[in-house]
Amino acid sequence: MKWRESGKQNGRLEDGTYQDLLAEIQVSCQANSKMYQKAEEFTREHFQDFLEMNQVIIVSDGAGMGIAREAALKFGETLKIPALYYESEEYIHGPNMQLTPEYTVFFVDTNKNHNLMQEIFAATGLVTQKSYMVTNKRVENKERVCSVENQVRNEITPLFTGVLFQYIAAVVTEEKNQFQCHPLFEKFEERIHCKTKDYKRIMKEKEKKVKRMRKYVVAAHGRMAEGIRSTVELIVGPQENLICINAYTEECQDPMPEFQRILAEYPEDEVVIMTDLLGGSVNNNALTLTREQRVHVVTGMSLALVIGMLMSDQEEDTKTAIEKALAEAREGMAYCENIETEELEDDEF
């Protein structure tokens, strides 16, 4: 991001802060992909209620206010229903008094300092069952909550908290065929042109582009894979898309059934299998699965390679992502005796 690079160059961001921000942005980009998956499931679960929405309120605070505003604009634009947004304190001092069971209310809660939003969400649920929450925080009761847990700072959370609203808008608009406006709107459009004529095509292409997600498998002899996953999660946090196979141990005496189980569990996803040794039995087993074009096998697994794949752009072609991750991993391999001390950059790990 330009602001981050600018902050480093002009000295306003110290190197430690810069590295922290970079790590959190990477986590947030990955959370965006995870939130898309959650949004699919969440919309499917509450599909009927979303189809019947006729008046909506979105509530947030802090950095979430930008998302609340964008969500209200998006619902008004695509679903063609009244949609308002409020800061949480504003909401409980007036707008909440208009609530009826017919209202739909969304809450965006990423504030680490308190859980007031969750209390307001619970209170709203006593009036309308059409209340929902988007959050990156741990919540005890996950009913009507769409969450991807992480510890990134509040200012960065808009990178993933807006996904649910975009997905609902796209799916409901398509289902109700609400691309057409009132006939009189044409007079407005003649006077002030405000929307592209290709909106429907663009939305369908966008949804198709990100529909297939990637799953990552680390597979190795003994407990190497388990160690790789543990270290990865120490550096970049929990990874729901990373699966570990400890081949030829008590828990997995044969890796092939595990590979087959994973492919059966995620039939629509691309699967990237990273193995320890070229020509080894784990890798040879994995290679037999590449008759399915969605399966990719990479060997010579390293920590840098696994992190590179996990941090790759989900919208990028998988083969391209693999080549980039391999190139970056190779760059990180060196005989340190040939490297001057000042060439090495300090790192938290």
Interval 210-245: pLDDT, tens = 556 899 999 999 999 999 999 998 888 888 889 999
Concatenate the DSSP letters of all residues of 170-239 into one string.
Answer: HHHHHHHTTT---TTHHHHHHHS--S-TTHHHHHHHHHHHTTS-EEEEEEEETTHHHHHHHHHHHHH---
Question: Collapsing DSSP states into helix, strand and coil, what is residue 290?
Answer: helix
Residues in the chain, how many? 349
CATH of the domain at 136: 3.40.50.10490
Domain span at residue 63?
Answer: 2-208
Write the DSSP symbol of residue 276. S
Instruction: Please tell me whether residues 174 and 142 are part of one structural domain.
Output: yes
Say which residue the tokens 């605070």 belong to: 61
Instruction: Please tell me whether residues 229 and 177 are part of one structural domain.
Output: no
CATH of the domain at 289: 3.40.50.510
What's the angle, vertex CA 230, arms to CA 228 and CA 232, rounded to 5? 65
Instruction: Please tell me whether residues 197 and 221 are part of one structural domain.
Output: no
Task: Please tell me the predicted confidence (pLDDT) of residue 5.
Answer: 47
Instruction: Please tell me whether residues 7 and 128 are part of one structural domain.
Output: yes
The 10 Å Cβ neighbour count of residue 206 is 13
Instruction: Please tell me whether residues 29 and 139 are part of one structural domain.
Output: yes
- Residue 321: inside a domain, yes or no? yes
Structure tokens at 134: 């988007």
Is the distance from CB of 27 to CB of 150 less than 8 angstroms? yes
What is the Cα gyration radius of the chain? 24
Using the predicted structure, report yes or no on whether residue 20 has a pLDDT greater than 90: no
Write the DSSP symbol of residue 249. B
How far is the C-alpha of 23 from the C-alpha of 15, rounded, in Å? 12
- Residue 226: inside a domain, yes or no? yes
- Residue 344: inside a domain, yes or no? no
Task: Please tell me the predicted confidence (pLDDT) of residue 333.
Answer: 87
Instruction: Please tell me whether residues 237 and 302 are part of one structural domain.
Output: yes
Is the distance from CB of 150 to CB of 135 less than 8 angstroms? no
Question: Collapsing DSSP states into helix, strand and coil, what is residue 108?
Answer: strand
- The 10s digit of each residue's pLDDT in 156-170 is 999 999 999 999 999
Task: Please tell me the predicted confidence (pLDDT) of residue 181.
Answer: 77
Instruction: Please tell me whether residues 120 and 69 are part of one structural domain.
Output: yes
Instruction: Please tell me whether residues 167 and 257 are part of one structural domain.
Output: no
- Residue 18: inside a domain, yes or no? yes
Is the distance from CB of 130 to CB of 103 less than 8 angstroms? yes
Overall pTM > 0.85? no
Instruction: Please tell me whether residues 243 and 167 are part of one structural domain.
Output: no
How far is the C-alpha of 229 from the C-alpha of 218, rounded, in Å? 8
- Residue 338: inside a domain, yes or no? no
- Residue 349: inside a domain, yes or no? no
- Last-in-domain residue among 208, 227, 247: 208
Q: In the chain, how many domains are there? A: 2
- The 10s digit of each residue's pLDDT in 79-97 is 999 999 999 999 999 999 9
- Residue 54: inside a domain, yes or no? yes
Q: Mean pLDDT for the chain? A: 87
Concatenate the DSSP letters of all residues of 293-336 into one string.
Answer: TTEEEE-S--HHHHHHHHTS-TTS-HHHHHHHHHHHHHHT---G
Instruction: Please tell me whether residues 198 and 257 are part of one structural domain.
Output: no
- Last-in-domain residue among 169, 185, 208: 208
How far is the C-alpha of 134 from the C-alpha of 144, rounded, in Å? 9
Concatenate the DSSP letters of all residues of 128-175 into one string.
Answer: -S-EEEEESS--S--TTEEE------GGGTHHHHTHHHHHHHHHHHHH
Using the predicted structure, report yes or no on whether residue 6 has a pLDDT greater than 60: no
Task: Please tell me the predicted confidence (pLDDT) of residue 201.
Answer: 65
Instruction: Please tell me whether residues 285 and 164 are part of one structural domain.
Output: no
Half-sphere exposure of 310 (CA within 13 A, CB side): 27
Instruction: Please tell me whether residues 169 and 286 are part of one structural domain.
Output: no
Question: Collapsing DSSP states into helix, strand and coil, what is residue 313?
Answer: coil
Instruction: Choose among 328, 331, 309, 305: nearest CA to 319.
Output: 309
